């Protein structure tokens, strides 16, 4: 089995490397491309995205509607959690 080391490649470069491989690898790449890594938002970014006031973000956090994360002394929210909450509304 060949070993492939992947470091700092763009999606296009990665896809080119797998163009001649079997269809399973292409499917894996497509799935990876669709799933973006966790994106974190500040309170201000979350409020702007949801078109609400900062106090609403604070209230939703206290009511456990959206889960805040304390990272390095900052309060952040996962974009996926906010999207999930928006679907529930």
- 13-59: per-residue pLDDT in tens? 766 766 665 556 666 656 655 555 568 899 999 999 889 999 999 99
- The set of residues, in sequence order, having a beta carbon less than 8 Å from that of 19 and lying 6+ positions away, is 26
pTM beyond 0.75, yes or no: no
Distance between CA 2 and CA 37 in Å, rounded?
Answer: 27
Distance between CA 83 and CA 33 in Å, rounded?
Answer: 18
Dump the DSSP string for 3-28. -----S--HHHHHHHHTTS-HHHHHH
């Amino acid at each position: 089995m060949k070993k492939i080391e992947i470091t700092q490649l763009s999606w296009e470069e990665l896809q080119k490397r797998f163009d001649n491989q079997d269809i399973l690898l292409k499917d894996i790449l497509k799935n990876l491309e669709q799933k973006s890594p966790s994106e974190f938002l500040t309170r201000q970014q979350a409020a702007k995205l949801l078109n609400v006031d900062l106090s609403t973000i604070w209230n939703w956090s206290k009511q456990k509607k959206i889960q805040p994360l304390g990272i390095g002394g900052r309060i952040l929210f996962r974009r996926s959690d906010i999207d999930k909450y928006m679907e529930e509304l």
